[in-house]
A and B are shown apart, each in its own frame.
Chain A
Amino acid sequence: MTGHLYPLFVLAPVCGLLVDSVLHVIVSRMLRGRQIPSLAVAFLLGGLVSCLLTVQALKCSMFNSVEYWSCQMGNCLFYAALGFCYFNFVNLHIASLRIRILLELLSAGSEGLDVKAVLSKYNARDIINRRLERLCIGRQLLERNQRYYVGNRLFLLIARCNVLAKQLIQGGRYRKL
């Protein structure tokens, strides 16, 4: 594709990502820190901006319908990839234990933190409790009579794909937990 609107075509998904990130910050503050709905709304609106800019960029093109829709789909995928990266960036801040430890050590300053204190604060039981609570809220797990069952099958599918990917990449080094 060439022409004076080609730069707009190239940058449309990047503009969509900028809109996604700015809107996420605004909407999450309006929704008092609820991340999933604010990420979803921001992603959709950013995608809309990306699509509209792509439509504008393709306006004067001489493409047939197959080429036109291929360009649209290509830019949609490009935007989806950028949006996914942003989602993971945000999710890291929420879920990552390593980031939490780094921030605690930053607060502790040059005095540092005792290893035993860190291990007692961030222990497996604490992780289990937090994750079970989070998974129940998201309905990936269901609790009945103090026992847990799989809820949303999509997350189970993701977990199984994760195992397959480990086996593909790590090969003989993969060991099931």
Chain B
Amino acid sequence: MFAFFWLAIAWLFHLLLWRLTPRVHGIRALIVVFLIFLSAGLFFDIHWVCFVKSLGIWSLLHASLVYISGALVYINLYSLIEDNSPSLTIILFTQEGGVAGRARQEYECVITDEKFIRLRLDALIQDRLILETSGLLRLTSKGVVLAKLLKFSSNILGLSPGG
């Protein structure tokens, strides 16, 4: 219960922060907010409230794991909310077509290179995972590490990239 309560407080803080400071957004900022609240919650409990601490170290671990799993669920959902998913955009656009439905060409006005492809490339550049110089895209050292990790996990999971 302590973990759910603390997670709810962190979520409300995130909501308030996002509304008050429009420049603060993104997955990284969200992770920082949840980590700060996790650390603060553990510190607060260990030193003052002793609610969870009194039940032993396993209770602290339990509360932390529940908090982390809840935070990860929200972070996953947030990535859907922050980015515009092509699939969800297609579904909503099709619904708006009503009984007449939609022809394939009609989707080209909602799924454009500017709104989806260029935006994602710019996000990779902003995150310093790739560099664009003289019309060429290259991975940064940070991008190489991430790409190798992703390749490794793709091989383990037996997945091929879709896109």
Give A contacts to B, CB under 8 Å: 1-2, 6-7, 9-10, 13-14, 24-25, 28-29, 33, 35, 78, 81-82, 84-85, 88, 90, 93-103, 105-106, 110, 112-116, 118-119, 122-132, 134-135, 140-141, 144, 146-150, 155-156, 158-160, 162-163, 165-166, 168-171, 173, 177
A132 touches B137 (CB 8 A): no
A35 to B45, CA, bound (A): 42
* Interchain nearest-CB distance for B96 vs A (Å): 10
The verdict on A141 contacting B163 (CB below 8 Å), with A101-B120, A168-B15, A170-B18 known, is: no
From A125, A126, A130, residue with most partner B Cβ within 10 Å: A125
In contact, B88 and A158 (Cβ under 8 angstroms): yes
Are B91 and A140 in contact, with the CB atoms below 8 A?
A: yes
- A114 near B65 (CB under 8 angstroms)? no
Which listed residue (A6, A24, A106, A122) contacts B58, Cβ 8 A?
A6
A165 to B120 Cα, complex, angstroms:
21
Q: Tell me the nearest residue of chain B to A21, going by C-beta.
A: B157
Provide 12 A-B residue pairs closer than 8 Å at the C-beta atoms, listed in order of the A residue. Answer: A9-B62, A25-B157, A81-B69, A100-B161, A101-B120, A102-B146, A106-B147, A128-B104, A131-B90, A150-B94, A155-B88, A159-B95
Taking the complex as formed, is B39 at the interface, i.e. its CB lies under 8 A from any CB of chain A?
A: no
> Within 8 Å CB of A132, what residues of B?
90, 104, 107
A25 to B94, CA, bound (A): 35
B138 an interface residue at 8 Å Cβ cutoff?
yes
**A78 and B162 contacting across the interface, CB-CB below 8 Å:** no
